[in-house]
Amino acid sequence: MAIGASTFALLSLASSGVEAIGQVQEGRQRADAENFNAQISKQQAEIVKVRGRLDVMRQRRIAKSFTSEQQALYSKAGVVLSGSPLKVIEESAANAELDILLTEFDTATQARRLESEAERSKELARAEKSSGYVRAGKTLLTASANAALLYSGGTKVPGAVKTTAASMGRAGRTSYAPANYYLR
């Protein structure tokens, strides 16, 4: 039993409708995955910030302890804390402060990189969601055009390519189809 053009057009539209729903769902799933990635990146950024603050606190405590120990050793040895001994203590404190500043800088850089990744993932999530709708719209528009072409008996559509009747399953007629036209 042969399927008529109108029946085939309706089946094609129904199939395309199901495909479009799948494309929208796929876009949403990809968006959900990117939103999850954004959450993970934000959490990692917070962890880096907390770890950085703790490292700075530890470095300050070590520096203070080291300075106190230097002063105690100098005092125990009977060295007066002026001139060169004082400069040594000051230089040690300056080096410790430089290490602290580098830790703060590294922490801020790592946290900002992770926050940027989170922002990028959010952008990708929006794009993926939109892309699903665009793909679904394209599927529906293409299916509608193909159904109209089948139903009308093959009129020339601007931008279409000439196909033979045999390639479209209808003997005896030449018709036109969009360049991406195909039968499933």
The confidence score (pLDDT) of residue 143 equals: 86
Please tell me the total count of domains within the chain.
Answer: 1
pLDDT tens, residue order, the chain (184 aa): 456 767 777 888 888 889 999 999 999 999 999 999 999 999 999 999 999 999 999 999 999 999 899 888 888 888 887 888 888 989 999 999 999 999 999 999 999 999 999 999 999 999 999 999 999 999 999 888 888 877 776 644 444 444 444 444 444 444 444 444 444 3
Where would I find the beta strands (DSSP E) of the chain? 160-163, 175-178
pTM of the predicted structure, to 2 decimals? 0.64
Whether residue 23 lies inside any domain: the answer is yes
Whether residue 171 lies inside any domain: the answer is no
What is the residue range of 107's domain? Answer: 5-152
Whether residue 168 lies inside any domain: the answer is no
Show the tokens assigned to 122.
């959010």
Whether residue 175 lies inside any domain: the answer is no
Whether residue 173 lies inside any domain: the answer is no
Whether residue 30 lies inside any domain: the answer is yes
The confidence score (pLDDT) of residue 12 equals: 80
Which residues pair with residue 163 across a beta bridge?
Answer: 175
Q: What is the dihedral of CA 65, 69, 75, 80, to 10 degrees?
A: -70
Distance, in Å, from the CA atom of 53 to the CA atom of 184, rounded to the nearest integer, reads 61
Closest among 106, 113, 117, 118 to 52, alpha carbons compared: 106
Whether residue 160 lies inside any domain: the answer is no
Distance, in Å, from the CA atom of 183 to the CA atom of 161, rounded to the nearest integer, reads 15
Distance, in Å, from the CA atom of 71 to the CA atom of 79, rounded to the nearest integer, reads 9
The confidence score (pLDDT) of residue 153 equals: 67
Distance, in Å, from the CA atom of 68 to the CA atom of 47, rounded to the nearest integer, reads 31
Angle at 138 between CA 15 and CA 181, to 5 degrees: 70
Which residues pair with residue 120 across a beta bridge?
Answer: none
Whether residue 36 lies inside any domain: the answer is yes
- Burial class of residue 49 in the structure, from the number of CB atoms within 10 Å of its CB (0-12 exposed, 13-18 middle, 19+ buried): middle
